[in-house]
Amino acid sequence: MLQPADFDKRRVMASMPNPPYDPRPYIESVADSEAQLAHFGWSGRRAPTALQAPGQSRALKAPRQGDGRVFLDWKEPAHGGKPGFYTVEVREMPDGEWKHAANAVESETTLVNQPDRSGASLCAPYAST
């Protein structure tokens, strides 16, 4: 009897005069060429392709604000690939430096511990892959 450490499926299958099954799918065992396999939708692996970058998020709104909290809501990009997540950045107007404020998986988030900005800042969510 074979011990688990000594078991090699390929060696055992090769030593059998009539293996109990063909390990290849049926179509691979009867096709004569790659062209026949491609006809049935079977072929080798495709070369990997890069994900398409998502476009700009749309329609940013802050429908609820107060007590150091700002709820942001926006729409997904109309063009480009599907976003993996969104990054929200904030800056003081007119020419302050952009600072990371939050990450979001969906097209909404609530920023907490926010100073009173009274319209002098801009929050811009952008999509990332």
% of the chain at pLDDT higher than 90? 0
User: What CATH number is attached to the domain comprising 93?
Assistant: 2.60.40.10
If 0-12 CB within 10 Å is exposed, 13-18 middle and 19+ buried, where does residue 57 land?
buried
**Confidence class for position 89, pLDDT limits 50, 70, 90:** confident
**Confidence class for position 124, pLDDT limits 50, 70, 90:** low
The 10 Å Cβ neighbour count of residue 65 is 14
Shared domain for 35 and 62, answered yes or no, is no
Q: Tell whether pTM > 0.85.
A: no
Shared domain for 124 and 65, answered yes or no, is yes
Its domain, for residue 11, covers: 4-39
According to the per-residue pLDDT averaged within each range, which of 27-31, 33-37, 75-79 is highest? 75-79
Q: Give the span between the Cα atoms of 100 and 88, in whole angstroms.
A: 6
Contact 61, 74 (CB under 8 A): yes
Residues 6+ apart with CB under 8 A from 103: 85, 86, 87, 88, 109
Shared domain for 92 and 65, answered yes or no, is yes
Contact 28, 37 (CB under 8 A): yes
Confirm whether 96 is domain-assigned.
yes
% of the chain at pLDDT higher than 70? 70
For tokens 């079977």, name the residue.
Answer: 42
> What b-and-e string marks burial along 103-112, b requiring 16 or more CB atoms within 10 Å of the CB?
ebeebebebe
Shared domain for 85 and 121, answered yes or no, is yes
Residue-level pLDDT at 118: 61
Shared domain for 80 and 28, answered yes or no, is no
**Confidence class for position 7, pLDDT limits 50, 70, 90:** low
